[in-house]
Amino acid sequence: MTKNRQESDSLNSSPNLPLNLHLPKPLPFYSRYAVCVSLTAAALLAGCSSSPISKPKATGWIQDEVADSYVFAYPLVLMGVARDAAVGTGPGQAPLNTLRHAQALPPVGAANRPTPSVDTIDSSAWLDVSGQPVVVSLPDSRNRYVDARALDMWTNVLWSTTAAQTGARVTGIKAQTVAFVPQAWNGDLPKGVKRIDVPTRYVWLKIRVQSNGGRDLAAIRKLQRAMRVAPLDIYTGAAEPPDTPRSYPAGDMPATGTPDAQVAALDPKGFFDRLARWLPDNPPSPPDAHALSILADFGVKPDEPVQFPSGANSALAAGLADGRARVQTAPSNVLTANGWSWFGDGIGNYGPDYGLRAYAAYAQPGIGTKDDEVRATATVDSDGHLLNGANRYVIHFAPGQLPPTRGFWSITAYTKDGSLDDSDTAHVAVGDRNGLRRNRDGSIDVTVSSARRKSANWLPTPRGGFELVMRLYAPKPQASDGTWQPPPIVRQ
């Protein structure tokens, strides 16, 4: 097993990355001064004076700074694109400060989000706290597992119902009301409302309700109807809800493809233009001031038109490519074992670990803290070969080595692009809610195959290449500190 829970060194130790976003300037590795060469000897021979000759300014420093800044800014730009796609009155959208409820399990085939869960029915909202607090009320779930979390625009987790619960088991939530409050707001909240200070203008709220299959939808919809999101003045009755939803300008880009694919398609100007417009309302934390200084070096300032240095197009493109590659590469503090990879203790509240923050936003959008969920993914078997539904595999859980959770766990199979397979078993997951058959010694063998099998331990897969996701809801500490490992996927 490979594990390293130290801070990611993706931005501060690679010999190929001279710029350290974790450290303040100065930057001694480049010079901005033209070089003048005296031609005195030639002047004496020719009988005339000469003019200084200037070398073109070096642009290598731009490539390095753009790459580092791309990693730093990626979560904010990704969240902005996701918000643009989700807010509105069109299909699949909802206005600001309004919950959008899924009414069924996620569709099969191509999906708008990768590896959707088949264990829960999800609700979400984008909150705007610029004018006043926004109040969120959740009902008593009556022992049904509910996970609600809120992320700021830099993907830090502000609040979570699961992380706040203590005890050996997490089976549901009690009725509760919280208010997401802009940091400069000094008013009073109603009695019993918990205050959550928000450092950014926008908040992404996600609520997941445990589903037990199609016959369970009526009970879930009843819970959804009891959830409430409203600005404070509407919540208290001081103002009436508007007759029509608040208008919201269209986003910069068409809502096609997943948000990460849309961001990946941006050129340097497109990426940093969006960053410059988002920064005033969604500033980074005070310790990140050095990152703003680095952005200013190559012409990116909050709420100002981007002005890149002249003659730097190649360096800008190369820096963007470097940054994109780093975002899509797991840093060293991602845990790995037996072909699986998952996030450890640093997830959800990143501090200066920009590499981990960017990779988490890319790989598992909306991921919570280590107390909310652990999501392990695998694409290869125990021999390092890509998983394929033409084969049969076994995942053997030794006695006492089942996934450690306070909630529940499951394993789901997806196509190589993260979609649910277009089959009648696409929504089938295997886990501790399925009545798994144990061996005599207490161990459990899960059979993974596209061929149908009459067993509670059968996990159906796509017929071609596939990936597996193991989800631990309300995991115990050993799931994220590396003392527990998912077992290997052994081809039979």
Residues 70 and 138 in one domain: no
CA 478 distance to own-chain centroid: 22
- The CATH number linked to 398 is 2.60.120.600
Q: Do 310 and 285 fall within a single domain?
A: yes
Per DSSP, the chain holds a count of helices (H) and strands (E) of: 9, 19
Closest CA to 62 of 72, 74, 70: 70
pLDDT at 255 over 70: no
**Of the residues 185, 215, 236, which one is the last residue of a structural domain?**
236
For residue 274, CA distances in Å to 63, 73, 85 come to 19, 10, 14
How many angstroms separate the Cα of 459 from the Cα of each of 38, 357, 358, 431?
A: 77, 32, 32, 9
* This prediction's pTM: 0.85
Specify if 26 maps to a domain: yes
Stronger pLDDT, 375 or 30, i.e. the higher one? 375
Question: In whole angstroms, what is the distance from residue 372 CA to residue 428 CA?
Answer: 23
* Residues 308 and 393 both lie in one domain: no
pLDDT confidence of residue 49: 39
What are the backbone dihedrals phi and psi of residue 409, each rounded to the nearest 5 degrees, phi first? -140, 160
Give the relative orientation of helices 60-86 and 354-363 as an angle to the nearest 10 degrees.
40
Q: What is the DSSP letter of 386?
A: B
Q: What tokens were used for 301? A: 């300032």
Same domain, 79 and 148: no
pLDDT at 179 over 90: yes
pLDDT above 80 (res 334): yes
The DSSP output letter for 299 is T
Q: What is the pLDDT of residue 213?
A: 76
Indicate which CATH number applies to the domain containing 173: 2.60.40.1610
**15-19, 328-332, 433-437: the lowest-pLDDT one:** 15-19
- Each residue's pLDDT tens digit, 440-465: 999 999 999 999 888 889 999 999 99
Q: Which of 171, 203, 236 is the last residue of a domain?
A: 236
Q: Between 60-86 and 268-278, two packed helices, what is the crossing angle to 10 degrees?
A: 60
Residue 357 lies in a domain: no
Q: Tokens 């991602």 sit at which residue?
A: 334
Q: Does one domain contain both 324 and 206?
A: no
Query: Of the residues 328, 345, 362, which one is the last residue of a structural domain?
Result: 345
pLDDT recorded at residue 204: 98
- Distance, in Å, from the CA atom of 345 to the CA atom of 343, rounded to the nearest integer, reads 7
Instruction: Supply the Cα-derived Rg of the chain in whole angstroms.
Output: 26
User: Considering all CA atoms of the chain, what is the largest pairwise distance in Å, rounded to the nearest integer?
Assistant: 102
My answer on whether 75 and 159 are in the same domain is no
Same domain, 44 and 98: no
Which of 157, 245, 150 lies closest to 203 in space, CA to CA? 150
Residues 484, 402: one domain?
yes
Residue 27 is assigned to a structural domain of this protein = yes
Taking 3-state DSSP, the helix, strand and coil percentages for the chain, each rounded to the nearest 5, stand at 20, 20, 55
**71 and 324 Cβ atoms separated by less than 8 Å:** no
The answer to whether the bond into 284 is cis (omega within 30° of 0) is no
Domain contains 71: yes
Q: Does 114 or 370 have the greater pLDDT score?
A: 370
Is 339 found in the same domain as 379? no
As a whole number of angstroms, the distance between CA 411 and CA 395 comes to 10
Residue at 242 is within a domain: no
Q: Is the pLDDT of residue 2 over 50?
A: no
- The domain tally of the chain equals 3
For residue 354, being part of any structural domain is answered with no
Whose tokens are 């600005």? That residue is 231
Q: Is residue 457 one of the residues assigned to a domain?
A: yes
358 domain residue, yes or no: no
Tokens of 317: 């493109």
* Mean pLDDT along residues 271-290: 96
Is the confidence at residue 47, as pLDDT, over 80?
no
DSSP secondary structure of 101-115: E--SSPPSBS-SSSS
Q: Are residues 102 and 226 in the same domain?
A: yes
Same domain, 212 and 293: no
- Of 12 and 287, the structure prediction assigns the larger pLDDT to 287
Which range of residues forms the domain containing residue 195?
Answer: 88-236
Q: Is there a single domain that holds both residue 68 and residue 115?
A: no
> Mean pLDDT, to the nearest integer, of 284-295?
94
Express each pLDDT in 461-483 by its tens digit: 999 999 999 999 999 999 999 99
Res 244: pLDDT: 61
User: What's the rounded mean pLDDT across residues 398-406?
Assistant: 95
Beta strand extents in 345-433 (DSSP E only): 373-378, 393-397, 409-415, 430-431
